[in-house]
Amino acid sequence: MRITDAIVSGRGEKASRNPLRRFGWFVAIWAMSTIGFIAAASVLKFFVPHYGVSSVKQDDD
């Protein structure tokens, strides 16, 4: 967990006490996770074939 150790040091003594800055971090992390989810869904949709209603042939009786 070298990445976590590089980002997080100590027990949070150096963490900002400013609520606006903390909220900013929350929004940034939320936005990045949302972008990642949408990107993953887009890639998955690209690889999964989708058939439209017009491409399905139906027998007319």
Residue 16 lies inside a defined structural domain of this protein: yes
Mean pLDDT of 34-54: 86
Assess if residue 25 is contained within a domain: yes
Task: Confirm whether 6 is domain-assigned.
Answer: yes
Reported pTM: 0.59
Contact 33, 39 (CB under 8 A): no
**What token pair was written down for 29?**
């992390």
Residue 23 lies in a domain: yes
Please give the Cα distance from 25 to 19 (Å, whole number).
Answer: 10
Residue 56 lies in a domain: no
- Determine, yes or no, domain membership for 57: no
Confidence of residue 28 (pLDDT cuts 50, 70, 90): very high
Amino acid in the structure at residue 60: D
For the record, the structure tokens of 49 come out as 């074939």
Task: Supply the range of the domain harboring residue 25.
Answer: 2-47
Query: 18 CB contacts (<8 Å, ≥6 apart)?
Result: none
Number of domains the chain is built from: 1
Q: Is residue 1's pLDDT more than 90?
A: no
Rounded to a whole number, what is the distance in angstroms from the first to the last CA of the chain?
65
In a domain, 54, yes or no: no
